[in-house]
Amino acid sequence: MEMAPWIRIVTLLIACLLPASVECLVRHYNFNVVMKNTTKLCSTKPIVTVNGKFPGPTLIAREDDTLLVKVVNHVHYNVTIHWHGVKQLRTGWADGPAYITQCPIQPGQTYVYNFTLTGQRGTLLYHAHILWLRATLHGAIVILPKRGVLYPFPKPHQEVVIVLAEWWKSDVQAVINEALQSGLAPNVSDAHTINGYPGPVSNCASERGYTLPVEPGKTYMLRVISAALNQNLFFKIAGHKFTVIEVDASYTKPFKTEMVLMAPGQTTNLLLETNLGTGKFMVTASPFKDAPVVVNSRTATGMLHYFGTFDDTTTIVTIPSAQNDTPLVDNFTVALRSLNSKEYPTRVPLKIDHSLFFTIGLGINPCETCVNGNHVVAYINNVTFNMPSISLLQAHFFNIKGVYTDDFPRNPPNKYNYTGTQPTNVQTMNGTRVYRLRYNSTVQLVLQNTAMLAPESHPIHLHGFNFFAIGSGLGNYNADKHPKKFNLVDPVERNTISVPGGGWMAIRFIADNPGVWFMHCHLEVHSTWGLEMAFVVENGKGPNESLLPPPNDLPKC
Ligand code: C2O
């Protein structure tokens, strides 16, 4: 017998009433989704926010805590919120992608996201998972280790959340709607931001940069999050090096670097030693782009300010990494290794039940109403994802037929030189197709980028799991040669990874979470164009191996 959701809540609430020595494991948050003008940007245009904040409020909890986040929708858009990187063990109803695990919260309605941070600690983010609302509706999730458990590195003097984002002067929904109508690429953003601040601009005195005040001779922990929509960003601080210690809420082997590459949806924890004693040092978030496509090339600037440094001191500037410095990015990616310690062992599945090979890229399909008679689309194995009109999870749980088919291809329909010259046929098929997995089966997935349209890197995000990135390379994946070099010892563990432009990436995961789990490119424009699919993971036979029933307040379509 499953424990009904209300029993879970009551049990947890009772636990909170016990004497003070017992830590309360339930944390309640109220998220009011409201339109708000932000004073950080030169604009009178209200934006969609959580509680009027941009970025939204930080959720702070400990490993294994349960969060009850009551979301009230006060705006005229449909809203959902996704807790990016939270595994949602058996609680897919709280995952958040619209039409995948829930129907949207309509204007005036409320939904309580109820989930537990089982076995996870580190930095994650939440963001809207519908339309392009996540541009401004996002914030940090800080998961501290359980009480009494130490970090696997010296305790920092202070922890600082840094959220990078992208901002449009015009209404972001209008931007994407216009693009969908014309069939062309949407306008690029007008600014990048660091904690909401773009940095000073000449025509607007109120617009300034984010300031990070520091004491000399200390170690700070920066929890850096990329909530950007469509662009990869380099993050740097002039004169200082970072030590990377965690990515996507998984500890890494510490390594020193001058810059950090952040793909949309990724998080990176850094240690920063304030060993220069005095002065002002520029902080930058600047674009990385590895394809011949238009980007917003503006750099967001902020400042690291040592206590006691006079305001009129000249700021030491940093030169942003070159926009197309792919080798730099590759070196950074290769340096990331999981910690693999006694306390935090890396358990890569060694026996594989499902060996999948997915090509990803962009295509062009006919469109009568579009400007050129066609429109840009995106695909996985030549399938462009069609958003259903009720959620896949409901269709799965209640056995509603006709919402999806479970014939997602395990290999691409045609073999060709994927990274060679562009194929003559760049058309795709449409479908709402899922790939079915048995509970606890193991998956190896090779993601192969193609040269269709632009050989651009794609940050692929998997909901419901962390995966291990066991290998990657340029050109075409070779199933005879490449597996010999896979790292099955200490590969980095994450939830979002960039498949290199003109290359491939191999990942492994264990399907130990029953439900429906979305996988997609975290560049919102590609996701909108259909670079998406879902895995259905069946229930297991044992206790605690099935998807819980939906909560009563699950929104209706
Ligand atoms: Cu961060 Cu499906 O998204």
The tens digit of pLDDT for each residue in 86-96 reads 999 999 999 99
Mean residue pLDDT across the chain: 93
pLDDT of residue 535: 98
Mean pLDDT of the region 432-436: 98
375 domain residue, yes or no: yes
Res. 350 pLDDT band, cuts 50 70 90: very high
Mean pLDDT of the region 462-467: 98
pLDDT of residue 30: 98
What is the domain count for the chain? 2
The tens digit of pLDDT for each residue in 63-83 reads 999 999 999 999 999 999 999
pLDDT of residue 39: 75
- Which atom belonging to ligand 1 lies closest to the Cα atom of 518? 2
Q: Which residues of 548-557 are buried (b: 16+ CB within 10 A; e: fewer)?
A: bebbeebbee
CA of 5 to the centre of ligand 1 (A): 25
- Asked if residue 306 and residue 278 are part of one domain, the reply reads yes
Residue range of the domain that includes 383: 354-545
Tell me which of 19-28, 131-140, 248-257, 538-547 is least confident: 19-28
220 domain residue, yes or no: yes
Res. 21 pLDDT band, cuts 50 70 90: very low
- Asked if residue 235 and residue 132 are part of one domain, the reply reads yes
Task: Give the residue from 277, 302, 335 where a domain finishes.
Answer: 335
pLDDT of residue 22: 45
Residue 16 has pLDDT above 60, yes or no: no
| Three-state DSSP class for residue 9 | helix
- Which atom belonging to ligand 1 lies closest to the Cα atom of 85? 1
* Ligand 1: residue whose CA is nearest its atom 1: 84
pLDDT of residue 19: 45
- Which atom belonging to ligand 1 lies closest to the Cα atom of 125? 1
Residue 133 has pLDDT above 50, yes or no: yes
88 domain residue, yes or no: no
Mean pLDDT of the region 54-66: 97
pLDDT of residue 1: 40
402 domain residue, yes or no: yes
| Three-state DSSP class for residue 176 | helix
Task: Give the residue from 305, 335, 365 where a domain finishes.
Answer: 335
Mean pLDDT of the region 403-413: 97
436 domain residue, yes or no: yes
- Which atom belonging to ligand 1 lies closest to the Cα atom of 520? 2
Task: Quickly list DSSP for 259-304.
Answer: EEEE-TT-EEEEEEE-TT-S-EEEEEEEEE--SSS----PPEEEEE
- Asked if residue 262 and residue 201 are part of one domain, the reply reads yes
Percent of the chain with pLDDT over 70: 95
CATH number of the domain bearing residue 223 = 2.60.40.420
- Asked if residue 375 and residue 318 are part of one domain, the reply reads no
Residue 4 has pLDDT above 80, yes or no: no
Residue 150 has pLDDT above 80, yes or no: yes
Res. 23 pLDDT band, cuts 50 70 90: low
pLDDT of residue 20: 41
483 domain residue, yes or no: yes
CA of 520 to the centre of ligand 1 (A): 8
- Asked if residue 394 and residue 448 are part of one domain, the reply reads yes
- Asked if residue 388 and residue 304 are part of one domain, the reply reads no
* Ligand 1: residue whose CA is nearest its atom 3: 84
- Asked if residue 358 and residue 331 are part of one domain, the reply reads no
CA of 515 to the centre of ligand 1 (A): 16
CA of 75 to the centre of ligand 1 (A): 21
Residue 517 has pLDDT above 90, yes or no: yes
CA atoms within 13 A on the CB side of 201: 17
Please name which of 85, 123, 426 lies closest in space to residue 252, comparing C-alpha atoms: 123
Tell me which of 106-110, 357-361, 394-398, 416-420 is least confident: 416-420
- Asked if residue 367 and residue 319 are part of one domain, the reply reads no
- Asked if residue 246 and residue 380 are part of one domain, the reply reads no
Distance (Å, whole) CA 439 – CA 435: 13
- Asked if residue 222 and residue 180 are part of one domain, the reply reads yes
pLDDT of residue 5: 57
Using CB distances shorter than 6 Å, the residues near ligand 1 are: 82, 84, 97, 127, 129, 265, 461, 463, 518, 520, 522
pLDDT of residue 457: 92
- Asked if residue 301 and residue 394 are part of one domain, the reply reads no
421 domain residue, yes or no: yes
- Which atom belonging to ligand 1 lies closest to the Cα atom of 496? 1
pLDDT of residue 362: 94
87 domain residue, yes or no: no
CA of 545 to the centre of ligand 1 (A): 24
Residue 2 has pLDDT above 60, yes or no: no
Task: Give the residue from 290, 305, 335 where a domain finishes.
Answer: 335
- Asked if residue 367 and residue 299 are part of one domain, the reply reads no
- Could you report how far apart the first and last alpha carbons of the chain are, in Å? 29
